[in-house]
Amino acid sequence: MPPSFTLLHPDKERPAMTQPEPSRIRIFDTTLRDGEQSPGVALDHSQKLEIAHQLARLGVDVIEAGFPIASPGDLEGVSRIAREVRGPIITGLARANRADIEAAARAVELAEKPRIHTFIATSPIHMAKKLNLEPDAVIERAIEAVQLARSFVDDVEFSAEDATRSDWAFLARIFRAAVDAGATTINVPDTVGYTTPREMRELFAFLKGELPAHVILSAHCHDDLGLAVANSIAAVEGGARQIECTINGIGERAGNASLEELVMAFHTRRDAYPFESGVRTRELYRASRMVSRLSGMPVQPNKAIVGDNAFAHESGIHQDGVIKARETYEIMNAELVGREAAVLVMGKHSGRAAFRKALTDLGYEVDEDRVKSLFARFKDLADRKGQIHADDLRALVESRSDVP
Ligand code: KIV
Ligand code: ZN
């Protein structure tokens, strides 16, 4: 059944539906770990710290600050964040071996809320070709890793790398073993961005039935097929209560699920999804600009929520609608994500209503006859120039070239 658009189009005839209390979705931000694995991105300590402080302001639940064994610099970067950033849980990634886990433990030692995140691959291809281990040996390694991590911290996350290409019964076995060994969060990565929303929903529903209720199930989706956000939402529908994501969706290859898209999907469609994150949406745009500036990765103009065009209207029909009522073509306000109000872009598709408004906004009082003659000139100019800026409009009015 299609969901109703309760917020924007109230249907007074329909009896009010009682909404259940929204469930809390934990936001696990991995911009500083998986995001930093984007080809060409390398953040220094102070840049990482600046982003971590913004993530704390944003209100994420977990910051994955790095992969401490990767280099002495990464270890120091994670421990600085652990020492200085308060609010979110701070975690570091570790493969399922002693050296990695000890490095992660050292790095998060001084965190207010430390977590160790350890992982091992579980798909047939990874176990045979990469790890060269039999499935039972992989389970043994997972148990030892989780037990070792638990000897340092109370909060341990276990991930099965390439989970979505793994055998489900094997996944249930290794996850049960990890939980028995002390893991508190179980993460299911779609490491190569291969799964689909239906598969993800069914996998989480299956795992939920296999694991004790106190375990937090988590989804970690990559975007190789452009499905990372849809797959994360499907995981939540199946029972996930933590989603792992990055600012601007940056990350290995095609990137990870985009934090701002997920948060705004849940926020905007509260009627369809009874879930809420603790994220302060007004900090989203600032976080996006900061990550783009410090990582050197530009945000595509048509990127949802944070792209330059995400709240820009160009066609005359849309501009006219937005002038009459913003909700005609806006499902959320730009201000809600910390941006300035939506802009009407003046170009050859713009209509007279938007043109008149642009002149008024620039402080010109122009009568209807003059609007008409200026509008014809504006269209000629737009055909030649594409986008028209405020200075073009000023020149148009002040040159009086339309006045006989
Ligand atoms: O994509 C992946 O499998 C990961 C894990 C290490 C969590 O990033
Ligand atoms: Zn990943």
Q: Distance between CA 14 and CA 39 in Å, rounded?
A: 52
Which of 273, 123, 255, 276 is CA-nearest to residue 188? 123
The least confident of 67-71, 90-94, 172-176, 392-396 is 392-396
**Separation between Cα atoms, residue 277 and residue 273, nearest integer Å:** 12
pLDDT tens string 180-193: 999 999 999 999 99
117-155: pLDDT as tens digits = 999 999 999 999 999 999 999 999 999 999 999 999 999
pLDDT given for residue 17 in this prediction: 52
Q: Counting beta carbons within 10 angstroms of the beta carbon of residue 28, is it exposed (0 to 12), middle (13 to 18) or buried (19 or more)? A: buried
Alpha helices, DSSP H only, in 59-166? 72-84, 98-108, 124-125, 135-150
Q: Is 34 annotated as a binding residue?
A: yes
Ligand 1 site residues (CB inside 6 A) read 34, 119, 159, 161, 189, 191, 220, 222
Annotated binding residue 318: no
Mean pLDDT of 30-53: 95
What are 294-311's pLDDT values in tens digits? 999 999 999 999 999 999
220 is in an annotated binding site: yes
DSSP β-bridge partners for residue 219: 188, 243
Contact 115, 89 (CB under 8 A): yes
Write down the residue that tokens 């002040």 correspond to. Answer: 398
Residue 8 has pLDDT above 60, yes or no: no
CA 280 to chain centre: 13
Tokens of 112: 């207010």
pLDDT in tens, 328-349: 999 999 999 999 887 788 999 9
CA of 242 to the centre of ligand 1 (A): 14
Banded model confidence at residue 314, pLDDT cuts 50, 70, 90: confident
End-to-end Cα, the chain, rounded Å:
61
Q: What is the number of the ligand closest to the CA of 67?
A: 1
The atom of ligand 1 lying closest to the CA of 30 is 8
Which ligand sits closest to the CA of 64? 1
pLDDT surpassing 90 at residue 262: yes
- 92-115 exposure pattern, b = at least 16 Cβ within 10 A, e = fewer: bbbbbeeebbbbbbbbbeebebbb
Residues 115 and 91 sit within 8 Å (Cβ to Cβ): yes
Query: Is ipTM beyond 0.95?
Result: yes
The first and second tokens of residue 103, run together, are 């490095």
pTM of the prediction?
Answer: 0.90
Q: Give the pLDDT band of residue 400 (cuts 50, 70, 90).
A: confident
DSSP characters for 4-31? Answer: P-TTTS--TTSPPPPPPPPEEPEEEE-T
Task: Tell me how far apart the alpha carbons of residues 139 and 177 are, in angstroms, rounded to a whole number.
Answer: 7
Q: What residues pair up with 69 in beta bridges, in sequence order? A: none
C-alpha closest to that of 62 among 101, 120, 115? 115
